[in-house]
Amino acid sequence: MRPMFLAIALCLGLLWTSILAPAAEPLPLHAVKPLQALIVDGQNNHGCWPKTTPMMKQYLEDTGLFTVDVVTHAPKGEDPDFKPDFKNYAVVVSNFGHGAAPWPAETRAAFEEYVKGGGGFVAVHAADNSFPDWPAYNEMIGLGGWGGRNEKSGPYVYYTDDGKLVRDTAAGAGGSHGPQTEFAIIVRDTAHPVTKGVPATWMHAKDELYDSLRGPAEHMQVLATAYCPKTKRHEPMIMTIDYGKGRVFHTPMGHETYSMECVGFINTLQRGAEWAATGKVSVPVAADFPTADKASSRISGK
């Protein structure tokens, strides 16, 4: 065969192969390594949010599992340009707070579709104050506080002293906290991937102990609680929620930078984010995890 014909034949062959060969299916996002995480922030009644977002970004990256992007909403009012491309991420972490303006309708719909379709979501501290009027969001977080939440939002959920999980439909406001203090976290589910191997009781660094949260609390598991002297109830401190095919990790801890320096907060955030992203946990329990008697913090310098 003359060289020219050979070249043409080769080209045709390659073209034929590329037409016939099926395009490789993109990997599902939970299988893409490193895992792609997104922190969203921009409106939070906690003035420390510009410090706590980089802290959480660092915590996730420290695992070696995640790369983290941040998308920040306009500081005031509604932001028509707030349109993160959720579907590019294995997990989304909210560092929004009380009084955050509603996201654009298109963004809310995209977020619902993202989580329902199998995306991971992590709600931290005042993220459970956000969006009291967004039903799907309240289903995702399970329990929320403030913003007019009351018995119409769903039950209070807590453990009694004798270890019974109660869904209490009594009338009353949702969301409260006492003065900041160190408090003990009690693990209620030692088999869940997030809490497996974590000390059964551990001292959390100074924080607000959120009490009296209320919400739909459907498909929700309470993994850990803290005893609240004010309500005399054991209030949920780590929750997981199934929303469609998606997984949600909710920690009401994390009021201030020093609260987020608690190794218990750091390590459960890392493990919870991995679980929300993949359904599994490979992040080991930290060697410096707090114990029943002693809080343990890593000073961030923030």
Residues that bind Zn ion (CB under 5 A): 208, 255
Minimum CB distance to Zn ion, residue 141 (Å) = 15
Residue closer to Zn ion (CB basis): 259 or 296: 259
Count of Cβ atoms closer than 10 Å to residue 33 Cβ? 12
Residue closer to Zn ion (CB basis): 86 or 96: 96
Strand partners, 242: 247
Write down the residue that tokens 């014909």 correspond to: 5
Minimum CB distance to Zn ion, residue 124 (Å) = 10
Residue closer to Zn ion (CB basis): 57 or 98: 98
Backbone phi and psi for residue 123, each to the nearest 5 degrees, phi listed first: -105, 125
Minimum CB distance to Zn ion, residue 214 (Å) = 17
Minimum CB distance to Zn ion, residue 18 (Å) = 56
The residue with its CB nearest to Zn ion is 255
Minimum CB distance to Zn ion, residue 281 (Å) = 27
Minimum CB distance to Zn ion, residue 254 (Å) = 8
Q: Which of 122, 147, 119 is CA-nearest to residue 134?
A: 147
Residue closer to Zn ion (CB basis): 3 or 47: 47
Strand partners, 63: none
Residue closer to Zn ion (CB basis): 118 or 178: 178
Residue closer to Zn ion (CB basis): 204 or 255: 255
CB-based contact 137:146 (threshold 8 Å): no
CB-based contact 295:262 (threshold 8 Å): yes
Dihedral, 51, 81, 247, 97 alpha carbons, nearest 10: 40
Residues 6+ apart with CB under 8 A from 32: 90
Strands 210-211 and 176-177 come out as: antiparallel
